[in-house]
Chains A and B, each alone.
Chain A
Amino acid sequence: MITGQGVTKTFRQRGGVLGAREVRALRGVDFTVGRGGAVSFIGESGCGKTTLGRIIAGLEGHDSGEITIDGVAMSSLRPRARRPYFRRIQLIHQDPYSALNPTRTVYQALLAPLALRAGQTGRTASWVDERAGELLGLVGLDPDYVLPRYPHQLSGGMRQRVVIARALTVDPEMLVADEAVSMIDVSLRLGILALLRDLRERLGVSVLFITHDVATARYIGDDGELYVIYRGQVVERGPVETIISAPVHPYTQALLSAIPVLHGLERPGEQPVAPTGTLEEDKPDAGCLFARRCPFATARCAAEVPALGRTGDIPQEHACFHPEARSVVAVPADRA
């Protein structure tokens, strides 16, 4: 189990025409990913979801707050001692084309981490070959076909499966999948999503899914939890299906309203919400971060900061003074 409390991260850029600039990527984020669980972070680019994923995978430090892995606070350990913990968390990149070395065959790509693993666990060289085949089978590839091939000889979907197989070589507890299907052909995306769901069930591995496409988050598992992140802050959190069907935060509503409607198959939701202004014009930090783009903002929103929590009988957590469930997503069209 991996938890975070009050995780913050600020990037500082020095120099440039305007002098030093600060980007507050994360402003105090709490999260919990249970064993075998599925958590999805959604939000626009620049909202901090990728930074959070990288921090969780141990590839990036954070400024304050605490990350706890299986009950051990990472701040209590020296950097070297943290490594075995973070090895349990493997990152799967968005781009399967650049994640694999083009001069190495799939066999070579799997060999290095497996040999390391064999050394750690006192296994023989024959185990390495056996395990390579086993892992490829697990991700739905034919080892005989794939092992001798170079990445350019495989389709995007096959490459992403190889990347997942490579991540599994170290027996991780959690996979962090950052936009893992956005570069995969549409007809093959569901296959990768189904694979992640399957790995959860068969290996008990948990999945942290980072995406801007909310619909894909449903396919990691119907027990999944959704975190909606806006400018480094979680603004709504709860079960995926609840948030899609009855979002209460206006930002979530704007995000869901923006998803294309398949006219002919679907008709638009009844209460779409359009944000005013754009992200880049949205600078001030006082009050609710979304207030300036929010069509429902009041004077209170500009002055006070709403905290993430539950109010009334709303099932999910939210950070809004005026939460109101709206039906914004498209619904199936009535057949003529």
Chain B
Amino acid sequence: MPSTPSDTRADNPPDTLGRGAPGVRISGLSVVYRTPAGELPAVRGIDLELPPGTITGVVGESGSGKSTLALSLLNAVQPPGRISAGSVEIDGLGDVVTLRGEELRRARGRHVGYVFQAAQNSLNPLKPVGKQLLDLGRSHGVADLRGLVREARDLLGRMGLDGARVLDSRQHELSGGMRQRVGIMFALVLNAHLVVLDEPTTALDMITQATILRIIREVHEERGLTTLVITHDLGVVAEVADRLAVMYGGRVVEQGPTRQVLGEPLHPYTRGLIQAIPRLVGDIGEARALPGRPPTLATIPAAGCVFRERCPLRTDVCVTQEPPEVAHGARLVACHAVEGGTGEDRAGAGNHGGQDGAGEPEGRAVTAGAREEQV
């Protein structure tokens, strides 16, 4: 792609220059989907903070609500789903749940970059990447398209690709790992400082995955981003994330610093999940699958703990009462059976402690409709 030197920054409004990594505060977030059986919650009473400049990993199995949570950051939950309660405050942008129309469209791309699940297949197969880049620029009213192309080329070069060649290529001419990097370029090229990556390495090989994870980490640091990585793979989170939130049945059941959660998991689900991962070392006999199966939208229990059907520590109270998120040091854990609690509330937990109560009533309100329980 030809380009001549010109004023690169002409298109950027001054307020977006030099802006740092934004913090994100998700409070009491609930998302429901309309089904023949009524509105069912996919995500319920989520409190999660993304401190500025950190990488947070959200881990969950299919149906845990992790992708729905990610879409909420763009206020992009599609019908029949809708955000039914809560707020998503992003620094410099406000509560995205209240944004509508043109405001919202502008925020996507400029403030929040999103790399979609299966980004390998999210390009237009008929157009060269460069043409799609220009479409993106025009739809966001970028005046200096040459500058945009140059920025895209630099980003691709930074990720180890020949930028000019990639921009001239169509999707089928790029490998899976290359497409993934193109997806990351699209998320960053409008200078977004909050980036959401949904399953960034699924369907990639180990070596390519390792490369992409390294790039995510490096680009995150160089550009001063706040990053959210959504994945089913604890290994991915372990490699890139500073903080980890474990989701199950639409709830965050445990969150805290990654190494702490992996090294000493407290919630029975986190423990079971870690024990269920095939590992390269150690006794094969020690690993075991979790009994039962993850709940779907229709089988998430309406009351009590979402994990109780598969839980070895289940008691009567788990059936009737939803466990609140309780601080354990720097961690929050939602389990009746985990000892300890608010008394240990220290340093890191202080940020979250105040939010504990807030999400819960809203979570209940959404699930008021009676649902028969089944496994």
Contact = CB atoms under 8 A, between A and B. Distances in A.
B103 interface: no
A71 interface: no
Interface residues of B, number: 47
B258 interface: yes
B347 interface: no
Contact of B280 (A194, A244, A254, A278): A244
A89 interface: no
Interface stretch (B143-151, B231-239, B312-320): B231-239
A194 B258 CA distance: 29
A193 B276 CA distance: 11
Contacts of B118: none
A175 B293 CA distance: 25
A331 interface: yes
A259 interface: yes
Interface stretch (A53-61, A78-86, A153-161): A153-161
A333 interface: yes
Interface in B254-274: 258-264, 272-274
B277 A186 contact: yes
A156 B296 CA distance: 12
Nearest to B275: A190
Given A44-B208, A219-B287, A329-B281, A189 B235 contact: no
15 contacts: A45-B176, A157-B293, A185-B61, A186-B61, A188-B289, A245-B281, A259-B206, A262-B235, A262-B238, A262-B274, A264-B238, A264-B262, A265-B238, A329-B281, A330-B281
Interface of A: 44-45, 155-158, 185-191, 193-194, 212-216, 218-219, 222, 244-245, 254-266, 275, 278-280, 329-333
Interface of B: 61-62, 160, 175-178, 205-211, 213, 232-236, 238-239, 258-264, 272-274, 276-282, 284, 287-290, 293-294, 296
Given A44-B207, A186-B273, A264-B262, 20 more contacts: A44-B208, A155-B293, A158-B293, A185-B232, A186-B61, A187-B272, A214-B280, A219-B278, A219-B284, A222-B284, A244-B281, A260-B210, A262-B235, A262-B262, A262-B277, A263-B259, A263-B262, A264-B259, A265-B238, A333-B263
